[in-house]
């Protein structure tokens, strides 16, 4: 009988951390209406914080905020905004302060991605991803920093592991996320003396997310990634890292990038067949999910 690899168990943060470690705290989260950032928001709320989630689609935000409030017993409110538009972020901050009076934690999570080779990537598409991910992170920092200074709070920026190596069809997001990592490091150095921490969480492949759906390649064996930890990532894995980094247990951790990927980055190949995909991109077009 062949040996069976060990599978890391999926643990809920409430089984490890005290339920009210964030009591009285307030979270400001861009991209919090869905996916990974919604899971991060829910986890922080389960440990006592209230939250504001920011996104472009108010109807989806409103529904998500209601569900998060009902699920956690805390208060979550929606604030419509676009991270590319500084005014809308300032308005969201004003709404947060009017409701809660403070901001302790900020998650910079708004992002965009799709598969495209450089030769087939328009200048506008490249610029748009940088505007959402990198400039959007900068705009979020600018809008919130005075309040995070006042609370001696903390930032978490949601990045990726794609730019650690050259990843075909991912020039736009690789450049954008490298910028996010750099911004976080500078923020940690400049704002540390003011009592502010800044770290990055870099998720690996996370099952059940829109991002994973967009990057999945059709016609390739289900196991496109190898997982030394025995399984694909779950939103709870990112949530658990979030609770740790925002907690006092991480008070001496700042300016760091934390990959949460089950070790898959060490085993990663390309998402599309190589070198076929770069020699003849049209031959793999049927394998790629159309842009949304």
CATH number (domain holding residue 108): 3.40.50.720
Q: What is the mean pLDDT of residues 216-241?
A: 80
Task: State the sign of the Cα–Cα–Cα–Cα dihedral 262, 38, 255, 195.
Answer: negative
| 84 in a structural domain | yes
| 11 in a structural domain | no
Which residues does residue 107 pair with via DSSP β-bridges, in sequence order? Answer: 29, 156
- For 102-124, the DSSP string reads ---EEEE---------GGG--HH
Please give the model's pTM, rounded to 2 decimal places: 0.93
pLDDT in tens, 123-175: 999 999 999 999 999 999 999 999 999 999 999 999 999 999 999 999 999 99
Q: Is the pLDDT of residue 110 over 70?
A: yes
Which residues are designated catalytic?
159, 177
Domain range for 23? 18-272
Helix (H, G, I), strand (E, B) or coil at 55: strand
User: Residue 275: is the preceding peptide bond cis (ω within 30°)?
Assistant: yes
Amino acid 292: pLDDT? 40
| 76 in a structural domain | yes
Q: Is the pLDDT of residue 219 over 80?
A: no
Closest CA to 141 of 99, 181, 176, 183: 183
pLDDT in tens, 86-95: 999 999 999 9
Q: What is the mean pLDDT of residues 210-219?
A: 63
| 222 in a structural domain | yes
Q: What is the mean pLDDT of residues 245-271?
A: 94
Whole-number Å distance between alpha carbons of 91 and 54: 11
| 108 in a structural domain | yes
Strand order from edge to edge, sheet including 257-260:
76-80, 50-55, 26-30, 105-108, 154-158, 197-203, 257-260
* Cβ burial 122-147 (10 Å sphere, 16+ → b, else e): eeeebeebbbbbbbbbbbbbebbbeb
Amino acid 287: pLDDT? 83
Amino acid 214: pLDDT? 60
Owner of token pair 């008070």: 251
Q: Is the pLDDT of residue 288 over 60?
A: yes
Count of structural domains, the chain:
1
pLDDT band at 211 (very low <50, low <70, confident <90, very high): low
| 146 in a structural domain | yes
Amino acid 220: pLDDT? 55
Least confident of 180-184, 200-204, 218-222, 250-254: 218-222
Amino acid 222: pLDDT? 47
Q: Is the pLDDT of residue 245 over 90?
A: yes
Mean pLDDT of the chain: 93
pLDDT in tens, 5-60: 899 999 999 999 999 999 999 999 999 999 999 999 999 999 999 999 999 999 99
Percentage of residues in the chain with pLDDT exceeding 90? Answer: 82
| 197 in a structural domain | yes
Token pair belonging to 137? 């992170």
| 286 in a structural domain | no
Q: Is the pLDDT of residue 225 over 80?
A: no
């Amino acid at each position: 009988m062949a040996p069976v690899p060990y599978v890391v168990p999926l643990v809920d943060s409430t089984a490890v951390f005290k339920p009210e470690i964030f009591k009285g705290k307030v979270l400001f989260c861009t991209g919090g209406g869905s996916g990974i950032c919604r899971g991060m928001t829910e986890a922080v709320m389960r440990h006592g914080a209230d939250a504001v989630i920011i996104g472009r689609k108010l109807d989806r935000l409103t529904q998500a905020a209601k569900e998060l409030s009902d699920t956690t017993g805390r208060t979550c409110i929606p604030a419509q905004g676009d991270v590319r538009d500084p005014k809308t972020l300032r308005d969201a901050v004003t709404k947060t302060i009017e409701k809660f009076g403070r901001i302790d934690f900020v998650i910079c999570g708004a992002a965009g991605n799709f598969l495209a080779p450089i030769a087939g990537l328009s200048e506008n598409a490249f610029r748009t991803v940088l505007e959402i991910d990198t400039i959007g992170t900068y705009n979020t920092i600018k809008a919130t920093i005075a309040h995070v200074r006042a609370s001696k709070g903390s930032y978490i920026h949601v990045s990726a592991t794609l730019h650690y190596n050259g990843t075909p069809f991912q020039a736009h997001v690789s450049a954008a996320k490298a910028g996010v990592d750099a911004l976080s490091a500078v923020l940690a150095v400049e704002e540390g003396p003011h009592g502010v921490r800044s770290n990055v969480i870099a998720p690996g492949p996370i099952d059940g997310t829109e991002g994973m759906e967009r990057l999945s390649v059709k016609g390739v064996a289900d196991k496109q990634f190898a997982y030394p930890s025995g399984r694909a990532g779950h939103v709870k894995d990112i949530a658990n890292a979030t609770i740790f980094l925002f907690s006092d247990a991480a008070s001496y951790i700042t300016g760091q990038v934390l990959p949460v990927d089950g070790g898959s980055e060490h085993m990663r190949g390309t998402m599309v067949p190589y070198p076929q995909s770069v020699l003849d991109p049209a031959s793999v077009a049927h394998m790629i999910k159309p842009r949304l």
